[in-house]
Chains A and B, each alone.
Chain A
């Protein structure tokens, strides 16, 4: 697994994030049945192909990640931190690549129904459907966060090696401090997860554990 990142050595240290209410948002991506529940959505297609076993590692990661998402949600809700649920769905603006990929997406109008019960949205929480890889590129996610004065985005969800990695870079490009929660994300395989978490840090993006975030919310660490 690669470890040296010479380019990061050129960068000045980024300021540490402070998770204060009003300046922080928890952005959850694809904590939904289509992407995380066996027998539904993408797993149904895998079964038709005869390759469902290929996804065992992913679904094991996803279940563990969702347990940590529940903890993050509870802690963030207790501190009135802004919460956004990004959900893979057909919002009428599905990218050509998604359409060619052939996976049928849940309907955007009922997207909230597809969210896993462990992450069921509460009043005043925002649901943003995405029919593209990046939750930033076609939605009003950036405007939503900036209107609330958010400076730091906590990212968790699936797939870490595709959408989380892209969303982290896009958030950093939009001047947010980004905290990716290693054990509240899942990648295609454990190997990909390790590579992704190792490769994503730097340039305004930090990779932390769920307990780190909980401690930061408690104010016991930065």
Chain B
């Protein structure tokens, strides 16, 4: 028996419905540290709950039923706000525990052991997060450089150990500015090596941001090892054209990898939302699905990508096996 842990409680996997696997509804990158060099890049800030309810509403209108919110403690996650958004939109919202890149790590991470960090994560999944009884249903690890090292390695190991104690799936931030410094375009292989060494079933791991710098061969390798490959920056065509993303997905479906693919848009900025003329949370359902259909992707395959795969990966064993402590 399995359950998906949403901010409003546990639900059956088949209740999840059409799911965006990697989004942000409430975040504030200004809480992260960064170098002083002046930059004009718009920070990742979403704090207007009313606006997000409206924008997430477009996703609901397009047929969406669930959003996996992957902001973690350290850059503004608030599960109370996520609960409000869930209630007001009627969308299921899964919150995430774990750690983002080093610049966005909470201060306590610097002096914490892997075991202490894992205990913190387990608490967010089992007890509640952000001073709320709402719990996280997913764990997240992140890398900001071309290697998993330093604090990010400790955090990643902590995520692995929290996974072993809770059964919550692991999602990963794998690339960003390092994507041209890593063969294959993302840190997926490094993450899988580390998780494997920690005893994680790689079938419970999502390699995120695979569509920033894609290589069909790398994606197939990740899925051959059991991991899920996530196309989660769909619409961000400054990295990769959506037509290329659709070509890649159609190619992977042809090769029998449909059961390991997830889709999303990773909205993090007001400028990416419909109110600013951006593509919004509903871009996959309104614009990208037609591109897939143009390439012969049928309804059964779309059901796999948007419904079945999310229900499988985001559901946890129930009741949760608290006795499987990592040694």
The residues of A with any CB-CB pair to B shorter than 8 Å are: 48-54
Contact = CB atoms under 8 A, between A and B. Distances in A.
Contacts of B219: 50
B217 A48 contact: yes
B203 interface: no
B9 interface: no
B214 A50 contact: yes
Interface string B217-228: 101000000000
Given A50-B244, A50-B251, 9 more contacts: A49-B214, A49-B216, A50-B215, A50-B219, A50-B247, A51-B215, A51-B244, A51-B248, A53-B241
B182 to A, nearest CB: 13
B54 interface: no
25 contacts: A48-B217, A49-B214, A49-B215, A49-B216, A49-B217, A50-B214, A50-B216, A50-B219, A50-B244, A50-B247, A50-B248, A50-B251, A51-B214, A51-B215, A51-B216, A51-B240, A51-B244, A51-B247, A51-B248, A52-B247, A53-B241, A53-B243, A53-B244, A54-B241, A54-B244
Nearest to B240: A54
Contacts of A50: 214-216, 219, 244, 247-248, 251
A51 B219 CA distance: 12
Contacts of B248: 50-51
Chain B binding surface SS class: helix
B39 to A, nearest CB: 15
B159 to A, nearest CB: 29
A52 B216 CA distance: 11
Interface in B239-262: 240-241, 243-244, 247-248, 251
Contacts of A53: 241, 243-244, 247
Nearest to B220: A50
**What 8 A-B pairs have minimum CB-CB distances, sorted nearest first?**
A50-B216, A53-B244, A49-B215, A50-B248, A53-B243, A54-B244, A51-B244, A50-B251
A49 B213 CA distance: 10
B15 to A, nearest CB: 34
Nearest to A51: B244
Among B241, B243, B244, B247, which residue has the most Cβ atoms of chain A within 10 A? B244
A26 B215 CA distance: 38
Contacts of B215: 49-51
A48 B240 contact: no
A54 B240 CA distance: 7
A36 to B, nearest CB: 20
A50 B251 CA distance: 8
Contacts of B216: 48-51
A54 B241 CA distance: 7
Contacts of B240: 51, 54
A173 to B, nearest CB: 28
A80 B251 CA distance: 51
A100 to B, nearest CB: 10
A141 B241 CA distance: 38
A50 B216 CA distance: 5
A130 B251 CA distance: 35
Among A48, A49, A52, A54, which residue has the most Cβ atoms of chain B within 10 A? A49
Nearest to B243: A53
Contacts of B244: 50-51, 53-54
A53 B245 CA distance: 9
A143 B219 CA distance: 48
Nearest to B246: A53
Nearest to A102: B183
Nearest to B213: A51
B238 to A, nearest CB: 9
A204 B182 CA distance: 38
A222 B216 CA distance: 50
A50 B244 CA distance: 8
Contacts of A49: 214-217
Interface in B259-286: none
Nearest to B216: A50
